[in-house]
Each structure stands twice: as structure tokens, then as C-alpha cells.
Structure 1
Amino acid sequence: MLDPANDVEKASDNKETIVQVVEEHSPHHDVDDVPRDRGLWKLLDRLDGVETRGIERVPPNDRNHTHRLSDCVWMWFGANTTIATFALGTLGSSVFGLDFRPATFTIIFFNLISTIPVAYFSTFGPKLGLRQMTLSRFSFALYFPNWIPVILNLVACLGWSTVKCIAGALTLSAAKFPKIPSTAGVIIIAISSLVPSFIGYRYVFAFERYTWIPNAVMFFLIFGLCGQYFDFSSSGDASTSVTVASVLSFGSAVCGFGLGWSSLAADYTVNYPEDVSSIRLFIWNYIGLNVPLILVEILGAAMMTTLKSSAPKFAEGYASGSIGGLLGAALTPLGLPGQLGLPILASGVIANNILNMYSLALTTQALHPWLQSIPRPFICVIGTVVSIVLAVTGINHFASWLNVFLDLLGYVLAIYCTIVIEEHLIFRRGKWSNYDPENIADPKHLPVGIAATVALIAGVIGTVLGMSQEWYIGVLAKQIEPNIGGDIGFELAAAFTGIVYPIARHFEKKKFGR
């Protein structure tokens, strides 16, 4: 009987197998094979200070040893102290019909759960020196099925960028002075997001470190101005079953937002020293994520209660200008200075968009080694152009786009996170010595991908059974509430994947030895 593990090493005795034929004829390119003496690379050389490194591994001796753990906190503060986070908080009332108290409980609980994988994956960066979509090859193989999370992350980065451009543009257009058309607002937000992501890692952190401060000041100001109009009482018009269904569905959207950072978490920790404490890094990232997410989303939920107050300006502002109109109404008492606060809030989404654009370029290169011939900064330019087109097209569908996008993203990332975490804890025993980051582009040192494929299919089945959308309600979701469903697609996606992957991976390792 042939020993498949031995055959993979020798690559000579059983070339008839599909796996080996694919591997032997797959082009294996390293970054050193990419010609850097012509074309865009030559142009990039003239731009002093621009980061040229793409998805290739950051070796320990190239790390920035002055990188502080607190930088993670300020990065997540910058990325999440934004009107997009505020907008998510408003969905509890506007889309799911929740009163303030259940909306707040949902925000706190599902954020604390969904950000665990994000903080956990951040610890992978220093140990392996690899970006998130590159290190996922240790679970998903070099090409297929790793193409699936990579392509979906491309869609996610573009989707986030589009949503954030729309949120920023709506806020800018709500300002009476200066008056900025929504299309122009989209372009301003997108181009401003491009600059730090184009320059590179160091400037991304430099921008994020301070950009959250003016936004936090504005949100505290809004809280102070509108506190007297908040109504935290229950409307009392929802049955228990509808409330449970609404909490689950809103929770799915909250998970999609928080968990959305998991597909790029390691991108921003690869420059930490290899011996940095994983526990401390996890804690700093977890705090940095949850403080702005929870507080700003709760403020969004509280602001929606002003729509039923005796002051009509809030309902009128929301009806005429969505999130931007609601924020504009909140700042009305300040007169002209209050109107100048809207551009400040709109600029906050730039900090969020920077991370999307920077990781978009890295994810594109992870799709295939040939794409490493395109310099990372110029992929950011292409992504910015695409996001502008999408944002201008969808600016009138912000709330519906945001809800559907967050839900679908949560389903997919629940599957992805489960596979990567189980691979690390079960099959690599949580030991970094069981990884070979130097051979991340060699399929012979990576899983075949059969187990990940089977687990992906299982996760999709769980999603379909438990999802609850306007266009489809799963069989199990209907058991919670027959008419509107209760969205448990996120939970079932993780559960189905978590059960199937260890079984499939056990047989894959037994068969192929890797």
C-alpha cells in the first residue's frame, strides 16, 4: 500500500493523484521573483517613504521594536469611534423594532462575543509575521479553498469601504455650512482614506492614534445636548416571541460588524516583536475594540429614542437625512459651530476606511502569487476607485445595504474563524513551532484543503437553516417566529463548522500526512 505522506515528500511515485498533479504544475512564486526594476515598481521607488512590502513574511529582525501595545487600542478607537458604528446602533430600532433596553443588552453581549476571534487572531501576527489572509493557508491550503475566504474578504473590504463612504457622505450633506453634495462627499471620504493606506503601515497607525479624539468629543457633546430627550421606557407593543427574534436578528448584525475585523486582524500586528506577550496583546486589542463599539452603538440606540420625543426636529432630521440628519438635529442648538461638527464626524469614517483599503491590497496579493507583481499602494488606488463607484450608486439604500451586508458577513466569518481557531488549537496544539511560515507558498507544507472545503459546506448549510432575511427565512429560524424568523444563522454556521472540521481534518491528516 502506498504511503501518501511519503509520496508527497518524494513527489515522484504517485503523480496520478489529483492533488499532486495540481501541486506539481502550480506556479510557486516568492516575492523575490517579482521584477521590481520596471513599471509601477520603478515609479514607486521615486515616492520616498512609501511602504513597498506586501504579503511576504515580516522576519523578526525587520520588526519595529518601538511598537507599543497601546497602539492597538488607539487603532481600534480610531477605526470604531465613527458614525458607521453609531449607525449600527440605530438599526436596533429602525430595522428590528427594539426598545432601548433590549437593544443595549444585545449590543453589549454580542460585541463581547464577536470580538474574541479578532483579538485572538491579532496574536498570530507577531508569532508568524504573516498577514491574516496569508496565514489562513495553514487551514485552507495554498489555493483552493483558501480562495473562498480571500475573495470574500475582498468583497468585505470593498463593501465596508462603500458603506463608510456613504455614511460619511450623508453626514457631510446634512451640514448647512459648508454645503457639500452627497456625491462630492463620497469622493472626499474615499480620497482622504486612500492617502495613509497608500503610504503604508507606519502612517496608518500614526493617523489612527489621534483621529478618534475629535470624534469622541463630538459624541460626548451629542450625549450632553440630547440626554434630556432620551426615552428609555418600553413601548410595550411587542410580544415575547417577536422580541426574542428581533434580539437574535439585531445580534447577528452586531456580530457582523465586530467579527468583520477578524479577516484582517493580523495585518496590523506583524511588526510587533516575536516575543511579545500574546496575553497582553489579546487584552489590549479586546479593550480597544469593545470600548468604542459598545459606547458608540449604545449612543446610536439612545438617539433613536428621541424620534418619539416632544421635539419634532429629531424625527424630521432623520426622515430628511437619515443618520446625518439625526446628528444634524442633535447639534442644532450650537448653531454654526454645531454644523461644523458634522464634517468632523464625517471625517471619522476615514480612519475606518484606511484599514479596509490597506487590507484590501494585501488580500488581493494573497489571491495568487502573480498579483504580488502589482505594488500594494497601487492596488489601494484601484480599490478606492471601485468603492467610489459603488458608493455613488448605492447612496440611497444605506440602511438596507448596511443590515444585509453585516448579516452576510457575520455568517461567512463565523465559518472562517471556527476553522482557523480549531486548526490552531486542535491540530497544531496551540504551538507556534508547529507552523512553518518560511514555506507559506509551498503546498507540500500546507493542508490539502479537503477538510476546509467540507467544513465550509457544512457551515453554509447551517447558515441557510438559521438565517432570517427579508428575502429568505431558514427552516430553523422559523421555529423561533414563523412570520419574521429569528436569525441564528451566525450561531449555526459556527456550530456546524465546529463539528465537521475536526472530523474531516483528522481523516485528511491521516490520508495525506499534512
Structure 2
Amino acid sequence: MSISHSSDPEKGIEKDSVGGQTSVHEARIADLHDEVPRGKLRYLWTLVEKLDRFGVEARGIERVQPDERTQSSSLVCFWMWLAANMTISTFSLGTLSASVFELGLRDAVLTILFFNLITSIPASYFSTWGPKLGLRQLTLSRYSFGYFTALIPVILNCIACVGWSVVNSIVGGQTLQAVSTSHQIPIAAAIVVIAIGTIIVSFMGYRVVHAYEKYSWIPVFVIFIIYAGEIGGHVDVGAWGGSGEIEAASVLSYGATVAGFALGWTSLAADYSVSLPEEMSSWRVFWSTYCGMNLPMILVEVLGAVAMHTFDAKPAWGDAYNSIGVGGLLGAPLTGTMHGFGSFLLVLLALSIVANNIPNMYSLSVTFQVLGRYAQAIPRVFIVLAGSAIYIALAIVGATYFEEWLDTLLVILSYWLAIFSTILIEEHLIFRHNDWRNYAPDEYNERSKLPLGIASFLALGFGVMGAVLGMAQTWYVGVIGNKFGIPGIGGDIGFELSFAFTAVTYPGFRYFERKYWGA
């Protein structure tokens, strides 16, 4: 594939044309009439051209045209999300049910089941948008939020991608530390090891991401089965847990955390289905994504919750958890009976974090470009490198605050992604009449062809109001959230209220926006 460069002397803007075969690397840079000033970074694009010959994806957020689609089976969505969630970060979410929310095992299992089945629906639905329009998820948000208001979810998603990579790397590093208690690897070195694998795959691009995720879940699944066998005979199921308002508050708060994990994929979903054919059945894509997400999320989160109820029978496991964290809880049962082989399995579990971090870093690169044409002029591969450097540094600094960071990140994600999902879905179903012909996917950079963004901005503000009223965090308890459970502690219904406030206000605001400003 060759990339030729020419300049428009009247605009002073570089335009690229692409020759050669595009189906091999899926890396065609479109014939650029989008006024993206790539000429200012000509030396970087020259390097990208060289990397492209080795299979590195050169494409950014440019639309994948129907004749460029190279995937043919909806199962690619199933494998993608199965692998991305079959990791120890999913396991760590299950442990929060006891360590943070003090839920009994049965209550934790029901909460995990119910909230995952409900809150994974938006991401599964958005996954069907990729084949229809060939655009990445945050690029698609411009058709609901408008060019400028879309910058808000773009910035939030960049923060979320980095934040997820931070907490994932910490739990992966803790697990590598648990491999040996006598010669413990420094947490900084462990985090760097995790990051290297992530960089390699996300650097290569879409095709390699899917190839890696298709198979990476297999050894992790087998190890989780072995782990379940090791801890199964030591579980104290116990009673249902608390009762009345206190129990309800804990279930709601933990449910918000579970929702944050499932909803976390809504801002990335379409990124990984853009190479499916335009005529692909939406139901097939939906169910492939839905099952691919829920199977690992439910099973692995439940396994994490179960592991927290083994400490009465196995106090040493509790000591390992208190000493090293989730890595200790994973390591103690495996290394305690299987010794060296158990340590080997633990290393593989630690590396499972790569499968979860890959979509974060890859989507960071295509999200960042939605900030504007100057951001789009930066080649995707260099955004991956910059984002990786940032999260490595943050993970090393924040390694001792894992549980606090994880819980806070998940809950905040549940707030803003409930707002994000509601606006996109209502725009599509109410104002575009569930008809893909009402989109102009090749005009994603044309501000005049996009909504003004006032309706989404106002609805977003009301959604934030709902989150503030309903949240129940250690640093703030909302007026409505305080009505649940113990006064001053409350129960978190922030994501439910952020959804409700947005759903009620957006249609009215959008009606008047279309009436007076069009688009």
C-alpha cells in the first residue's frame, strides 16, 4: 500500500490519496477532502507509511467504506467481548461485593446477574451501529451531541480509557507480585510488563486486536475453572446478608459499580464492528456482543465474590488478600497446592489484563482524534504510545489505592455513560426513526450537517443533576441517595436518576432545537 501526498495551494492543506490494495492491512487513508492538516506532521505520516507495510493500521476515525469491510461473521463480536471480559479485572469487581459493600454471597450473585443482564444492553445495541455506518463510537456521537458538545463525551472517554488501563494494570501487577513471595517483583516492573503486551497489540490496530482477542480467553478460562475447583470446597455460602434498608442500600450501591463495568463498553462498542458488512443482521451482531459480554462478566464476577467467602476456612487466603490484594487472593489457592505450576498459571492470569487493556488503548487512539481536525492529524499509533506512557505512570503512583480508584471509576462511569447512551438511543429511535438513511456517515466532519448540540448539552446537564441527587459515595451523598439505608451513607441510585433525567428532558430539547435550528 502506498500513500501519496499532495497539497492544495489555495487552502494550504495537505491531501492524501491512497493506492494499492487496501483489504490486506485494512489501513486505507481515505481520499482526504476533510481538511485535516496532516501536512503539518508529514514526518510522522511518512513513518506510518513505512509501518503500514508491516501490517500496522494507518487508519484513524475515517469511515470504513462498505467495499472495505473484511470481516464476514458476527462471531468476531462474541470473541472480542468474551476475551476483553475474561480477565482478572472482572474478577476484582466481584471481590468488591464483600470488601467494600459487605454483601452476603447470595445477594452479591443476584446483584451481579441482574445488573449485568440489564446494563449490557446499550453496548450490545451500539455494536450494531458499526456495520451500518462504518464509524467509530465517539464519531457517531456527533450525530446526537453535535460537533462541539460531543467534545464532552470525547474527553470523558479519553479519561475513562486511561483510568481503566490504570486500575487494570494495578491488579495485573499485584497478581505478578503474588507469583513469588520470597523474590517479589517490584510493582512498577510488573505494571510495565503488562503495558508492553498492550502496546504491541493496540499499536498494530484493528485486525491484530481481533486476532488476539479471538484466542486469548482460552487459557484464562481454563485457569479460572482450575481456580474454582481449588476454592469450591471452602466456600461459606452464609445467609442472604443484611435486611431492610441497609441491605437495599448495599445492593443499589454495588449494582451501580457493576453497571459501571458493563456500561463502560458503550463508548467503545462500535469501534470493533466497523469492518462487518453493511448488510449484516443487526440481531446477529447484538446477540453475539450480548452473550460475549455477559458470559464472562457474570461468571468471573461471581467467582470473585465466591472467593471472598473462603477466609473462614482458609485464613491464609485472607492474609494473602490483605497483604497483596486481589493478586494475593488469586495466588494463594493456586500456588498453595500446585506450587511451581500454580505460579505459571498465575503469570498467565496476570497477562489476561492485556486483553482488557487493548480495547481501552485502541479506542483511546480513535477517540482522541474526534477532538477535532488537528487531533485527527496525529497518527493513531502515536496516540497509543502517549496514552500508554500516561497510564503506566499513573498506575505506578496509584498502586496502593486500587480498591478506592476502581470503585470510584466504575460508579462515575455508570453516571455519565447512562447519559451518553440515553441521548444516542433517543436520537436514533425518536428523531432519526430507526432509519440509517437519516444519517450521512461521510459527513461526520461537516459541522453544518450535524446537530447544533444545545439539546444534548442541556439534557446532559439534567443527567448530571440526577447523578448528583442520587449518588452515595464516601466523598458525597446526594439528597435522594441519602433516603436509602443509613442517613449519611445512603444507597447509590445516581446512574438510575441520570438515565431518567436525561430520558425525560432530551426529547423536548431536541424537538425545539430541530424546529428552530434544523439538523
TM-score (norm: length of structure 1): 0.92
Query: How far off is 1:239 after superposition?
Result: 3.5
Q: Matches of 2:358 and 2:72 in 1, distance apart? A: 19
* Cα deviation code 1:278-336 (max 9, x no counterpart): 01110110000000000000000000001222x22111111111101111111111111
Query: How far off is 1:235 after superposition?
Result: 7.2
Q: Matches of 2:388 and 2:41 in 1, distance apart? A: 26
Unaligned runs of 5+ in 1: 1-27
Partner of 2:269: 265
Query: How far off is 1:69 after superposition?
Result: 1.3
Aligned-partner SS, 1:162: helix
Partner of 1:50: 56
Is the 8 Å Cα contact of residues 87 and 323 (structure 1) preserved in structure 2? yes
Q: Matches of 1:356 and 1:400 in 2, distance apart? A: 20
Moved more, 437-446 or 106-115: 437-446
Is the 8 Å Cα contact of residues 165 and 391 (structure 2) preserved in structure 1? yes
Structure-to-structure mapping, 1:200-349, within 5 angstroms = 200-234=205-239, 238-309=242-313, 311-331=314-334, 332-349=336-353
Query: How far off is 1:370 after superposition?
Result: 1.0
Query: How far off is 1:438 after superposition?
Result: 1.3
Query: How far off is 1:157 after superposition?
Result: 0.3
Kindly indicate whether residue 508 of structure 2 is the aligned counterpart of residue 510 of structure 1. no
Q: Please, which of 154, 157, 160 is the counterpart of residue 161 of structure 2?
A: 157
Aligned-partner SS, 1:385: helix
RMSD, matched Cα? 1.4
Partner of 1:439: 443
Q: Matches of 1:394 and 1:388 in 2, distance apart? A: 10
Kindly indicate whether residue 63 of structure 2 is the aligned counterpart of residue 60 of structure 1. no
Distance 1:507 1:344, change over 3 A: same
Give the letter for the 2:410 counterpart. L
Aligned-partner SS, 1:263: coil
Kindly indicate whether residue 361 of structure 2 is the aligned counterpart of residue 381 of structure 1. no
Partner of 1:95: 100
Q: Matches of 2:66 and 2:232 in 1, distance apart? A: 50
* Cα deviation code 1:414-438 (max 9, x no counterpart): 0000000000000000000011111
Partner of 1:492: 497
Give the letter for the 2:326 counterpart. I
Distance 1:45 1:37, change over 3 A: farther
TM-score (norm: length of structure 2): 0.91
Partner of 1:9: none
List structure 1 segments (4+ residues) > 3 angstroms apart after TM superposition.
none
Is the 8 Å Cα contact of residues 459 and 492 (structure 1) preserved in structure 2? yes
Kindly indicate whether residue 109 of structure 2 is the aligned counterpart of residue 109 of structure 1. no
Q: Matches of 2:432 and 2:488 in 1, distance apart? A: 44
Partner of 1:468: 472
Kindly indicate whether residue 68 of structure 2 is the aligned counterpart of residue 34 of structure 1. no
Query: How far off is 1:37 after superposition?
Result: 8.2
Query: How far off is 1:36 after superposition?
Result: 8.7
Unaligned runs of 5+ in 2: 1-31
* Cα deviation code 1:117-175 (max 9, x no counterpart): 000000111111100000100000012x1110000000000000111110100000111
Q: Matches of 2:244 and 2:194 in 1, distance apart? A: 42
Is the 8 Å Cα contact of residues 105 and 240 (structure 2) preserved in structure 1? no
Query: How far off is 1:46 after superposition?
Result: 1.7
Query: How far off is 1:483 after superposition?
Result: 3.2
Query: How far off is 1:32 after superposition?
Result: 6.4
Partner of 1:142: 147
* Cα deviation code 1:357-376 (max 9, x no counterpart): 10000011001111121110
Aligned-partner SS, 1:262: coil
Larger helix percent: 1
Aligned-partner SS, 1:335: helix
Moved more, 478-487 or 402-411: 478-487
Q: Matches of 1:31 and 1:80 in 2, distance apart? A: 38
Partner of 1:422: 426
Give the letter for the 2:307 counterpart. M
Give the letter for the 1:494 counterpart. F
Q: Percent identity?
A: 51
Higher relative contact order (CA closer than 8 Å, sequence separation 6+): 1
* Cα deviation code 1:46-101 (max 9, x no counterpart): 2221100000111101111x432111111111111111000000000000000100
Give the letter for the 1:438 counterpart. D
Q: Matches of 1:336 and 1:75 in 2, distance apart? A: 31
Q: Matches of 1:207 and 1:255 in 2, distance apart? A: 26
Query: How far off is 1:33 after superposition?
Result: 5.1
